[in-house]
A and B are shown apart, each in its own frame.
Chain A
Amino acid sequence: MPTDTKRVRGPEVSQSPSLFLCKNAVKKSTASNDARVDGRQRGQVDVRSVFVRCGLISQAKGSAYIEAGNTKLICCVYGPRETERKDETDMKSGRLITDMRFAPFSCRERGSWIQGSDEKDLSLMLLESLRPGVCLQKYPRSQIEVNVMVLENDGAVLAHAVTCASMALADAGIEMYDLVLGCSIRQEGATYLIDPTFLEENGYNLASGSRENLGSLTVAFLPSLNQISGLQSDGEMGEDTLTGDVRTCIEGCFKLYPVIQQALSKAVRRKAPPSES
């Protein structure tokens, strides 16, 4: 197993102080069951407002930055470049390579720079979500690299990474069928929390009595084509709850769509040469 040999680490038995935090301080159960900690409502399609900007990184072909609540992600796209490995499939269509990483300071406990299995899994999910949206057959023998870096993890990371990556791809001028938007939901008993924060995702504000139907769901959606390109769920849910949650996530994606479109058109206008007047 590769270990980080260049850094001096603490003794093997050291544990993060956050584990010893008094649990009561963290489990502030909200007085009424309806309000969430940041003022949004349970059981309603109340996604966090997003701030997006394209074209931040000058060296990259395309880039995008997204901020939703405290979740901050940045994505760069490089390509189309010539692919190093050439198999038969590459002759007909391009290859999309995704990489998703967490900065060590992004989560409550310090992570490591070496890619863990969680990050590899998220990169794979990101790839599966983006592939249907990109016209890869227009780029034979090339590869397009998408790198997502999570600067701060406050929940719904995969969903926002999908949105950020598709904006960066559009900013890079890669031909796409449609934007891919992501939305995340957390099911707790009878209610759902859309676009959960980190604390909500890990079940810190559990409403009492939600022993069953506890799970999370992330959906990647192409709005104009009405197709789901990525779906991942966790935890234990009944089938009807699952179906309901997928529809709710689709609604959440539709809410996000105009914001993303506006940000992209602003970015294009900024890049366009000034018109002769």
Chain B
Amino acid sequence: VAKTSLTSPPWPEVRLPDPVEEAKHHAEVVRKVNAMIAAGQYGRLFAVVHFASKQWKITSEDLIMMDNVLQAECGDRIRMEKVLLVGADDFTLIGRPLLGKELVRVEATVIEKTESWPKINMRFRKRHNYQRKKIIVHPQTVLRINTIQIFPCLS
């Protein structure tokens, strides 16, 4: 039968690779990454962590400041458990949505608990003699990320 404009649908045909071969390929990649992690052949690790209702992209030895109070004294070590992504130069581990706790370990120390600079909230309506000025000072906490460690327990 001759090919017309309606023989095939107008969208490009999508073919997925063979599931058996794909499973083999996936297993091999997982094995290689496990071997790399076990051998320690990665440089600097970065992680995406969900903390204080925000997501942060962090590496080791960097500072984080959050606009709230932590129930921990200065100098306490903290382990951040909600890790969304961990990556190195050659591989990335993407969590759906979180990574396992036995896979990643992110440690941080509370360095400083201060207050922010006095921010001024002002409301003004013209011609109505209405102005309100409020000075807001909210607490801040500074953390330093000590280490990010990964363990070779992929499956």
A pairs with B: no
